[in-house]
Chain A
Amino acid sequence: MKLELRMGDWMVTMGLVGLYRVFEYGLRNGVIDQRYRQSVLVLPQGLEVETDVLPQLPRAYFLYLIDEYSAAKRESERLLFYMEQAKRENLFSTASSNIKKVITDIGKRIQKYFPNEPVEPLFEKLKSIKKPTQWDQLQECVSDFQKMIRKEAINEKLTLNYFKAAILKSFFGQVSFLNVSKNYLDLEGHIEQFQTDYIGPVQYDLQLEYTLQSASKVDEILSFLDQHVDYGPFKALKKAWKKKTLSQVREEAKRLAECMLFPGHFAFYNFEEMVFSPIGLSKGNALNFNWNLQDKQPKPISSLAKLVLFFAPAGAAIYSKREQSYDQGEYRTYAGFVQSDAAFPEILQKNNHFKQMKQQKDPFDHIVSKLVQSITTEARYVIDHLFFLEFSSDYDSKKTHLHYYHLPLYLARYFVEYPGKLDYVHYEYREQFIQEVLRGVDPAQAIYRYLRDCIENGRSHIGPYIAVRERNRIMQLKKGVKGMEKTDKRVYALYRSGQEIRKTVEQAGAPKAAGHYSASPSKKISSIAYRLLNAAKAGDRKSFLDTLFRLHMSAERPISPLFLNALHERDLDFTTVANAFIAGLLSQEGQGEQEEVVS
C-alpha cells in the first residue's frame, strides 16, 4: 500500500526529512534490502512511502543515529586535540588532566556495562603520568583506550546512551524505549520496542482503513479487530461495533476522530508532550490549554503522524550554541531546520547542506550566504523565502527555547551582495549579530557588547568597524537604499577620525610631572571609550558630543561636520556615528591596509 505524506507544519517536514535520511542511510549501508529501493520516493509535496518498508526502518533509525553520534569518534577527536596540546610543555599538565578526566569518566561507564574490559590497569598506568617527558606513555594510554572504545559493542552501548539522553529525550521525554525502565535493553531490544510502539500501530490502523473499505460483511471487520485485540484502540472499537451492521459500522467510522496532521487517517492518539515534547504539553496537566477544556483527545493525530514525528531528530541539524554574551551564558544543544517555500526535494537538499555546514562549525552568516547563493535563481537576488528555525528543549524543566529567523528580501539581497563581509567580526558576536538581524531586530546591542569587550580586554581589531559598517548597510537596504558607496565612505571617515584622535593622544604621551601619577595614553583612551560607549548605549547625544568636543579640543584637532549626524541623523543614525568613532578610537594604526582587504 502506498502512502502519500505531505509536508506541512515545520515539525512534520522535519520528520519527513528525517525519515528520508534514515531510509537513504539504510539503503546505502545495506541495512535496508535493495529490493526496497523504490519504497520511499521524493515527491514535490512530500514523500511517497510503500508500507512494506516500514518494518525495515527501526534498525536503520538506530544505526543511523549510532553512526551520526558515535561515542568512539567523538571521544577520539577530543583526545587527539588534547594530545596535540600536551606536546607543548606549558600546557602538558592541563591537557593531561583533561585526558585523564575523559578516560576515567568513560572508563567507569565501560566498566559498568563490560566488567571484563581491562579498564583498571589503564587507570593505574594513567596515574603514574605526571611529567611532560612521559608524553609517549600518555599516547600509549590514549591509543589503548581508543582501541577499547572502538569495539563495536562498547561504541554501540555508549552512543545509544548518549543520543537517548542528549537528543531524543528533548524531543520525546520518556516515551517507549526512552523510559528509564528500558535502560537495560540492548540494540536488538531497542529495535523491537520501536517496532511494537510505532510501526505496529501504523500497520494496524492502515489495515483497518483498508478492511473497512473492502469488507463485504461486518464479520470481516470484527474478525480483523479480534486478531489484534491486544492493540488498545481496537479493543474499544470491537466493543462498540459488536452488534452493528456493516453500513452502521462504516457510518460510525466516519465519525471517528481524524488526524490533524495527515487528514484522511484515523486518529487514535493525541498531540501532546510525549509525541513531540518541544511544543506539546502533557494532556492531563494543562486542561485549560485545550478548547472547551477537552480532556480526552483535544488534538487528535494518527499513529502515522506519531511515527513521522519520531523521525524529527534525524531531520534536524544538532549543534551546541552559547546564547547571550561572550563570557556569560551556557552552551545549549540546539536542533536547527531550514524551511522554505520550495518543493520538498529542495528543502531536503537545503537541510543536508545546513547540517553539513553546522557540523563544520561554519558561522551562521556563512551558512545563510551559502544557502542563499546555492539557490540563486535567474533573478539577481533570491526571492525564495527562507526561514530558519532552531530550538533547544529541556524535558525535565519543561522549557523550550524556540527561535524563528525569517530571511526577508532586503536581507537576501544583503547576503548576496556582501557575502563573507562579517568574517572579521569575532565568531560569537557575529552569530549574535546575524541572529538579531534575522529576527528583524537592530543588531546595535551586539555591537555595544562587542565594543565593550574590546575596551575591557584591550583588544584592537578591525572587527567592530566592520560590524558597524555592515549594520549600516543592512539598515540602508531595509529602507530601500540601493547604492552604498556614499554611506560607506561616511562610516569610514568617522572610523578614521577615531583612529587619528587615538594617534594624537598616543603621541602626546603621559605628561611627566614629577611626583604626580598620570595615566598612560591607552588607559586614557579606554576611559574615554567607556564614557562614549555609555552615552551611545543610553542614546545620550549631548553627553556623547560633549565628550567628543573635549577630546578634539585637547587633541587640538578640527571636528568633522559628519558628527552633526548625531543630532539630525540625515545621512547616518546616531548609533552608527557613535559606534564608528568608538571603533576607530579602539583600533591601532596599521589597520588601514586591512580595511582595503575587507571593504
Chain B
Amino acid sequence: MKALRLKLFQETACYKKPFASKVAETYPLPPYSTVKGMIHALLRADRFISMRLSVQGEYEAKLLDYQRHYFFKKLDTVAFPLILDGIQENRFVYDTNGISTMPIYTHMLYGVNLLIHVEVEDSVLEQVIQAIEGGGIHYSLGRWEDLVRIDEYKIVFVEELDEEKDLRYHAYISDHLLDIDTRHIPYEIPWKYEIVNGVRKWEKVKVGYVPKGTTAPEGVCIDEDGELVFFHL
C-alpha cells in the first residue's frame, strides 16, 4: 500500500494533555488527533477525512517555559490581549474585570524529530503534497507557535514486516499489536471527536509508548526504505 512519509523537525513543541491547564503537560509524541489536525489544516478541510497514521519520533530533552497567559473571565468582554511592550508613553490599561493574566509553566520538548506515515486516498495524498509545496503560511504541529520544519515528504510503499527489527525511534504502537513481552507506557491517545452538548467527545485509541531499541512486535509494517510503520487502526 501507498503512504506519505513525513520527516519533521521542531525546535520546541508542546502537545498539551487535555486536563493540564494550570501546568501545560505534554505528550512525549504528538497524539494522532494533533497530526490529523495538521493534515486537515494543510488541506483546509471542513469535515473529517478518514486516514491511518503512524507516529514515531524522539526528543533531546524537556524544558520548562514560564509563560504569561491571558485569562478571559467573561464571554462578553470587550477587552482583548494586546501586547504593547516597548511602545513609548503607553497608558493603555486592561479591563481587569474581563481579562487577567498569570504566568504558568509550560512543559516543552526540545529538539523533536518526527517520522510520520499517513495512509489516505490517493487523491487526498496528492492534495497534501500540493499543500506542502505551495503552503502560504508557516506549518505548525501542536500549538500554533510550535513551528515545524518539513525535512522530507515522500510517497513510499508499505508492506508487512516479516523479519525481526528494532525500533529506531520511540513510537506509539496500537494496543492490539502489543504482546506481553513488549514493554511500554500505556496511553489513551485522542483520535477524532464528535460534538455532544457543545463539548468534544473524543474517540480514543489505546496505545503503548514503546522506547526505541525495543524489538518491533509482530504484525507491524515497514516502508521501502526500511522505516518501521505502526498504523493506529
Contacts and interface: CB of A to CB of B under 8 A. Distances in A.
Interface of A: 8-9, 11, 255, 257-258, 260, 271, 273, 276-281, 284-289, 291-300, 339-341, 383-385, 387, 391, 393, 398-402, 404, 408-409, 439-441
A288 B71 contact: yes
Given A300-B199, A387-B185, A279 B21 contact: yes
Q: Which 10 A-B pairs have the closest CB atoms?
A: A440-B61, A281-B21, A288-B72, A287-B72, A402-B23, A286-B71, A383-B183, A400-B23, A341-B185, A279-B20
A271 B71 contact: no
B211 A385 contact: yes
Interface string B173-187: 000000000011110
Contacts of B21: 279-281, 286, 289
Interface in B71-122: 71-75, 100, 102, 104-105, 107
A440 B60 contact: yes
Contacts of A285: 71, 73, 100
A287 B22 contact: no
Nearest to B77: A287
B196 A385 contact: no
Nearest to A301: B19
Contacts of A297: 197, 199
A439 B63 CA distance: 8
B200 interface: yes
A174 to B, nearest CB: 16
A280 B19 CA distance: 7
Interface of B: 17-23, 25, 59-62, 70-75, 100, 102, 104-105, 107, 183-186, 188, 196-201, 208-209, 211, 213-214
Contacts of A289: 21, 71
A57 B148 CA distance: 50
Given A286-B71, A341-B208, A292 B184 contact: no
Contacts of B22: 273, 277-281, 393, 398-400
A340 B197 CA distance: 35
A11 B200 CA distance: 22
B194 to A, nearest CB: 12
A295 B72 CA distance: 11
A341 B61 contact: no
Contacts of B20: 279
Nearest to B103: A399
Contacts of A291: 199-200
A393 B21 CA distance: 13
A258 B107 CA distance: 29
A408 B211 CA distance: 8
A404 B61 CA distance: 11
A385 B199 contact: no
Nearest to B24: A279
Nearest to A288: B72
Contacts of A11: 19
A516 to B, nearest CB: 52
B73 A296 contact: no
A441 B198 contact: no
A440 B73 CA distance: 38
A257 B100 contact: no
A299 B198 contact: no
B87 to A, nearest CB: 24
Contact of B75 (A258, A293, A441): A293
A284 B72 CA distance: 8
A400 B105 contact: yes
Contacts of B198: 292, 294, 296
B107 A257 contact: no
B73 A287 contact: yes
Nearest to A339: B185
A585 B23 CA distance: 43
17 contacts: A257-B196, A286-B21, A286-B72, A287-B71, A289-B71, A291-B200, A297-B197, A383-B183, A385-B183, A385-B185, A385-B209, A387-B185, A391-B23, A401-B23, A402-B105, A408-B211, A440-B62
Given A255-B197, A440-B61, A279 B185 contact: no
Contacts of B102: 398
B58 to A, nearest CB: 10
B15 to A, nearest CB: 13
A295 B75 contact: yes
Contacts of B100: 285
Contacts of B104: 399
A458 to B, nearest CB: 34
Contacts of B19: 9, 11, 260, 271, 276, 279-280, 299
A409 to B, nearest CB: 6
Given A258-B201, A401-B105, A8 B188 contact: yes
A160 to B, nearest CB: 27
A458 B214 CA distance: 48
Contacts of A294: 198-199
B23 A278 contact: yes
A292 B184 CA distance: 34
B182 to A, nearest CB: 9
A441 B196 CA distance: 43
Of the candidates A288, A294, A409, the one having the most CB atoms from chain B within 10 angstroms of its own CB is A288
Nearest to A273: B22
Nearest to B74: A287
Given A287-B75, A400-B22, A402-B107, 13 more contacts: A11-B19, A257-B197, A271-B19, A281-B21, A286-B21, A286-B73, A296-B198, A297-B199, A341-B184, A341-B208, A383-B183, A383-B214, A393-B22
B71 A279 contact: no
Contacts of A279: 19-23, 25
Contacts of A260: 18-19
A260 B19 CA distance: 10
A292 B196 CA distance: 13
A340 B23 CA distance: 21
A387 B183 CA distance: 13
A279 B214 CA distance: 33
Contacts of B105: 400-402
A387 B21 CA distance: 21
Contact of B18 (A299, A339, A384, A393): A299
A296 B183 CA distance: 40
Of the candidates B23, B107, B199, B201, the one having the most CB atoms from chain A within 10 angstroms of its own CB is B199
A241 B72 CA distance: 34
A294 to B, nearest CB: 6
Nearest to B70: A288
B184 A385 contact: yes
Contacts of A402: 23, 25, 105, 107
Of the candidates A276, A291, A294, A385, the one having the most CB atoms from chain B within 10 angstroms of its own CB is A385
B66 to A, nearest CB: 10
Nearest to A291: B200
A292 B74 CA distance: 14
Given A255-B196, A279-B21, A292-B198, A384 B61 contact: no
Contacts of B107: 402, 404
